[in-house]
Amino acid sequence: MELKEFKQQLKSYQALLGFDYGEKRLGIAVSDLMRTIATPYKIIDRRTFGQDLAEIQRIITEKEIGGIIYGLPLQMNGQEGDIARQVRTFAQKIYESTGLPYAFWDERLSSSAVESFLIKQADMSRAKRKKVLDASAAAYILQGALDALTRL
């Protein structure tokens, strides 16, 4: 769904959930209720879809989520590869279970940008970076979408 159409489906004063999708981990970020600031929230170690969904639904309820932004890992030439197709399939399955509107945000280089920041600015060790990278990448993705939504 296009971001403009996504915005039209959102209700006021509900947060957005941001995903950095991975086959082993899901990076999760959450916005504030005014949808201005994205914050890294947690990393879900992937298990079965049912277990992942239960955790996602708990977050949706707890954080008053009204919509979801998925990072879409496009190739450098803009084409979609296998992982992008997995993200689209995952998003559709979450939608079928929650009914929440969703949109995709180009996440090319988001993990690299966040990791570079964590190394240079936060001076984090490799072990510490691993614990926060996916959730921080989700926040980077979500913040980009939030900023774009305010311009619509």
How many Cβ atoms sit within 10 Å of the Cβ of residue 137?
25
Give the pLDDT band of residue 130 (cuts 50, 70, 90).
low
Contact between 135 and 26 (Cβ < 8 Å):
no
Contact between 140 and 113 (Cβ < 8 Å):
yes
What's the pLDDT tens digit per position in 17-41? Answer: 999 999 999 999 999 999 999 999 9
CA dist 143 → 22, 70, 79, 82, 136 (Å):
19, 12, 23, 25, 10
- CATH homologous superfamily, domain 3-151: YqgF/RNase H-like domain (3.30.420.140)
In b/e form, how buried is each residue of 90-121, taking b as 16+ CB within 10 angstroms? bbeebeeebebbbbbbebeebbeebbeebeee
CA dist 152 → 8, 48, 71, 140 (Å):
10, 37, 19, 19
What's the pLDDT tens digit per position in 56-94? Answer: 999 999 999 999 999 999 877 878 889 999 999 999 999
According to the model, what pLDDT value does residue 76 have? Answer: 74
Q: Report pTM.
A: 0.86
DSSP bridge pairs for 19: 28, 70
Helix residue ranges, H only, 3-63: 3-9, 49-62
Beta pairing, strands 25-31 & 15-20: antiparallel
According to the model, what pLDDT value does residue 82 have? Answer: 94
Q: Nearest 10 degrees: CA dihedral of 132, 135, 140, 145? A: -170
For the chain, what are the domain ranges? 3-151
In this predicted structure, the answer to whether residue 1 has a pLDDT above a threshold of 90 is: no
Average pLDDT in the chain? 88
What's the pLDDT tens digit per position in 38-49? Answer: 999 999 999 999
According to the model, what pLDDT value does residue 128 have? Answer: 53
